[in-house]
Amino acid sequence: MKTIEFGTQKREISKLVLGLMRTFQMPAKEVEALVDGALEAGVNAFDLADIYGGGKSEELLGEVLKGRADLRDKIFIQTKCGIRREGEMQYYDNSAEHVKASVEGCLKRLNTDHLDCMMLHRPDALINAEETARAFEDLKREGKVLDFGVSNHNRFQIERLQKYLSFPMAVNQMQLSCTFTPMLDAGFNVNTDSDKALMRDAAMVEYCNVNNMALQSWSSLQKCFFGGLFLGAEDCKELTECIEKTAKEMGVSATAIAVAWILMLPGKMQAVVGTTKPERVKEMAKATDIKLSKTKWYEIYYAAGNKLP
């Protein structure tokens, strides 16, 4: 399993991150088996958010940790806060008060005294960046959160926070898969009149490279916005055939190839994958040892329906 050096703690964590969003309906014993299976495959990083299952996903991992004192030092726990729901309305709250309250809730649900990383889940237009940064500083000084990052933020939203921090932000988590590539399309189409020249992320791949930040993909095997798996989908036949052919040639699964395609990008790339099956984690973990040729990487990009100028 390939790793990256993460954040201010410089901890070595796996390039594959196991997302636990869908574990909230599982028995604790199955969650424990999933965590153990991931560790056996070399995956030591786990992704959560306080809204997953209304906090139940965190609670279940916390239940596992309560009965397994040996596990906490072996795993890297990152979670997210900032999405709030009141009735039918969803909104974003990255205020200092909410961040601090969220951290306390996460610590309690997870049965731990610290989070390895806390991310702001979505940008809040009403954020007071100076106050939120001060909350980050307080939580880090207290040892409750070791590193901080964001999810679904652009460069300037990150820099607005970074301006008031004494330590660097560690990570941004963005949607990326073989079939969802706006971060790449804009770079390919610089100074063209193609719609794909529209920059929707403020050059996040390049920004993270320059600032030594980890860049994590979410929905790594999904199309569009939670549009279902693209492998085997009726509208992704050419892409599926291309990936399956490559997988057969390399003796791995198609999902491993799809994840390896993401991890080929330069910098501290990580792929968040969501599965509840230990055997699937082990299958996808092979992705970090796969090195696709440049021509094969571009072949997959084309097979997804893309064109280059």
25: in domain: yes
133: in domain: yes
The two most distant CA atoms of the chain are separated, in Å, by 58
Known catalytic residue at 52: yes
Give me the number of domains the chain comprises.
1
248: in domain: no
Residue 220's alpha-carbon distances to 126, 178, 223, 270, 298, in angstroms, are: 30, 8, 8, 10, 17
* pTM, 2 dp: 0.96
111: in domain: yes
152: in domain: yes
239: in domain: no
Domain with 40, as residue range(s), is 12-169
Q: What is the mean pLDDT of the chain?
A: 97
Q: CATH number of the domain at 131, please.
A: 3.20.20.100
Q: Which of 52, 92, 207, 301 is catalytic?
A: 52
Whole-number pLDDT of residue 270: 98
**Per-residue model confidence as pLDDT tens digits over 111-160:** 999 999 999 999 999 999 999 999 999 999 999 999 999 999 999 999 99
CA 51/CA 201 separation, integer angstroms: 24
Whole-number pLDDT of residue 124: 98
**Per-residue model confidence as pLDDT tens digits over 6-43:** 999 999 999 999 999 999 999 999 999 999 999 999 99
Whole-number pLDDT of residue 300: 98
**Which pair of structure tokens corresponds to residue 164?**
């008031």
263: in domain: no
